[in-house]
């Protein structure tokens, strides 16, 4: 496989992991704690019915997994357990991913404790937490091989978990078509509060299979009894957040996720047993499924020689562009038209020995160590010094780091969350690993660096991709995965930041259209 072909297998892995990681089966693209008044939550709790719901997970019409939500009353309050498992076709292989969350709520639906676990082939993760009164959420993240990351976060009032957001809409009052519900939220991954708007856009009847019988001749489960339920289509304003149908009890009937993934409620045997039967049959016959990387790619409509591309003008349609980091640096956005330019890097830049206090204060965040980006670890620091030697010009140091990461890391698709220290040890990975290690090395020697994520052109299509940006008198995109310094103009940045920010890309998948207007060398 050539490097360019490998280029297509990039940030989609992280996006799929984010989906599995979010912890709520029908809300896999949200990671927020929803707030509401104690009175409204208590009123909704009175209508909450214990029980279980089961879901078939499909990807582009192919059954790939199973999910469930169980609500139960316990001595301490109300316990909500969500489970999701799927076999995801990625880069020519099928990867098993699963997520399980157990959340304890008060009798008024306010969050008390939570335990969220997600596991893919290479990266198990766990987050446990609790609330202190109605003002603080304390949580700890565990990733193998890393110290536990514990944080305390202030909140305003009682908080809800993501799976109960549409439930609060449905049970708080009768849903009305056209009504918009504004929910103040807190996102513990991005460490910020914001309002999320959810709108009821339609009302319809659904026929749900609520029991099943086994067909011995066909060797599959088939519907035995059905039930007709009324449901409301609830969606985030501007395409952000939950997108699905919810019944009068607040239970999800059907939900749409990223990468062509949907969830459909049905009897347990139809959801789980038929998935298991189909999975075993596919394994026995070598059946093929559509690769998620290809299903999320966007046609460019033209053939470009990306590596030498100096300028690219495209029109972006199908999604609201507000909130993305499209404007700034070498990119300029005018309406729905984005201009991306490959500007030359200055022949020399600032010296790493003469940085003023104002410089250090300005780039405090872009020079700091972060969880999984251990720029202050002795192994990272020693390697950065070994690579750069006595060179002190920031431009030449940045280029040396780019060349070393490109030359030293095997180009392999990984199904994991990038960890700079681990990448330094294993010397392999895709764009996420290349970018994570580069940013850690750059920060270790005092060059401000950050992670950019968006789309990169590879052989007729735009694929989700990550690359670093370094400060060399301006933010300069570089690409240690492709070996480009600076990166070509076919890198279209949408967000700046780590995996938490990259979750914003989820609402692009399946919705964004790109039309190439002009290109130049």
Q: Kindly report the CATH number assigned to the domain that includes residue 512.
A: 3.10.620.30
- Cβ neighbors of 346 (< 8 A, separation 6 or more) are 395, 472, 473
CB 355 within 8 A of CB 366: no
For residue 263, what are the domain limits?
Answer: 22-288
User: Peptide bond preceding 302: is omega within 30 degrees of 0, i.e. cis?
Assistant: no
Final residue before a domain boundary, out of 288, 306, 325: 288
Q: Are residues 348 and 466 in the same domain?
A: yes
Both structure tokens of 417: 């969350």
In this predicted structure, what is the pLDDT of residue 388? 93
Kind and range of the H or E element at 231? strand 220-236
Strand-pairing partners, residue 72, are 79
Strand 149-154 with 252-256, pairing: unpaired
Q: Are residues 284 and 311 in the same domain?
A: no
Q: Are residues 195 and 342 in the same domain?
A: no
The pLDDT-based confidence of 137 (bands split at 50, 70, 90) is confident
Q: Are residues 516 and 464 in the same domain?
A: yes
In this predicted structure, what is the pLDDT of residue 301? 72
183-198 confidence digits (pLDDT tens): 655 444 444 455 667 7
Q: Are residues 145 and 205 in the same domain?
A: yes
Strand-pairing partners, residue 9, are none
In this predicted structure, what is the pLDDT of residue 30? 28
Quick check: helix, strand or coil at residue 457?
Answer: strand
91-129 confidence digits (pLDDT tens): 566 777 777 888 888 877 677 888 877 776 556 777 788
Both structure tokens of 1: 């496989």
Both structure tokens of 495: 């967000």
In this predicted structure, what is the pLDDT of residue 385? 95
Predicted model pTM: 0.67
Strand 428-429 with 410-411, pairing: parallel
Kind and range of the H or E element at 206? strand 192-215
How many domains are contained in the chain? Answer: 2
Question: Most confidently modeled of 43-47, 385-389, 461-465?
Answer: 385-389
Q: Are residues 67 and 92 in the same domain?
A: yes
CB 453 within 8 A of CB 495: yes
3-state DSSP of 302-371: CCCCHHHCCEEEEEEECCCCCCCCCCECCEEEECCEEEEECCCCCCCCCECCCCCHHHHHHCHHHHCCEC
pLDDT (average), residues 250-266: 83
User: C-alpha distances in angstroms, 161 versus 138, 249, 344?
Assistant: 14, 17, 47
């Amino acid at each position: 496989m050539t490097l360019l072909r490998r280029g297509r297998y990039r940030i989609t892995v992280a996006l799929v992991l984010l989906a599995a990681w979010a912890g709520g089966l029908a809300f896999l693209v949200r990671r927020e704690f929803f707030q509401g008044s104690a009175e409204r939550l208590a009123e909704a709790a009175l209508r909450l019915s214990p029980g279980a719901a089961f879901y078939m997970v499909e990807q582009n019409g192919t059954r790939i997994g199973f999910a469930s939500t169980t609500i139960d009353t316990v001595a301490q309050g109300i316990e909500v357990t969500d489970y999701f498992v799927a076999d995801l076709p990625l880069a020519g292989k099928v990867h098993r991913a699963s997520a399980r969350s157990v959340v304890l709520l008060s009798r008024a639906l306010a969050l008390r404790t939570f335990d969220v676990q997600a596991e893919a082939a290479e990266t198990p993760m766990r987050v446990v937490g609790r609330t202190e009164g109605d003002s603080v959420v304390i949580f700890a993240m565990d990733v193998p091989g890393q110290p536990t990351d514990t944080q305390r976060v202030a909140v305003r009032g009682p908080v809800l978990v993501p799976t109960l957001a549409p439930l609060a809409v449905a049970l708080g009052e009768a849903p009305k078509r056209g009504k918009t519900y504004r929910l103040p939220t807190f996102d513990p991954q991005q460490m910020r509060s914001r309002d999320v708007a959810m709108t009821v856009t339609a009302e319809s009847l659904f026929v749900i299979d609520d029991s099943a019988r086994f067909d011995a001749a066909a060797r599959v489960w088939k519907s035995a009894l059905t039930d007709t339920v009324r449901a409301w289509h609830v969606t985030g304003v501007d395409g952000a957040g939950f997108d699905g149908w919810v019944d009068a009890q607040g239970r999800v009937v059907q939900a749409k996720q990223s990468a062509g993934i949907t969830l459909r409620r049905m009897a347990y045997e139809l959801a789980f047993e038929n998935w298991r039967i189909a999975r075993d049959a596919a394994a026995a016959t070598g059946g093929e499924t559509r690769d998620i990387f290809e299903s999320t790619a966007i046609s460019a409509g033209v053939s470009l020689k990306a590596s030498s591309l100096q300028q690219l003008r495209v029109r972006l349609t199908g999604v609201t562009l507000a909130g993305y980091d499209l404007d700034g640096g070498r990119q300029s956005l005018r309406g729905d038209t984005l201009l991306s330019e490959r500007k030359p890097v200055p022949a020399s830049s600032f010296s790493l020995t003469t940085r003023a206090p104002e410089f250090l204060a300005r780039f405090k965040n872009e020079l700091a160590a972060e969880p999984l980006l251990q720029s202050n670890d002795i192994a990272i620091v020693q390697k950065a010094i070994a690579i750069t030697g006595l060179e002190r010009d920031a431009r030449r140091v940045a280029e040396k780091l780019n060349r070393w990461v490109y030359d030293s890391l095997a180009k392999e698709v990984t199904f994991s969350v990038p960890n700079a220290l681990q990448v330094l040890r294993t010397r392999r990975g895709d764009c996420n690993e290349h970018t994570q290690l580069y940013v850690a090395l750059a920060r270790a020697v005092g060059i401000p660096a950050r992670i950019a994520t968006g789309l990169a052109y590879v052989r007729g299509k735009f694929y989700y991709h990550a690359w670093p940006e370094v400060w060399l008198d301006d933010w300069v995109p570089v690409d240690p995965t492709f070996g480009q310094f600076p990166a070509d103009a076919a890198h279209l940045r949408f967000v700046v930041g780590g995996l938490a920010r990259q979750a914003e890309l989820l609402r692009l998948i399946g919705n964004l259209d790109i039309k190439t207007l002009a290109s130049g060398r």
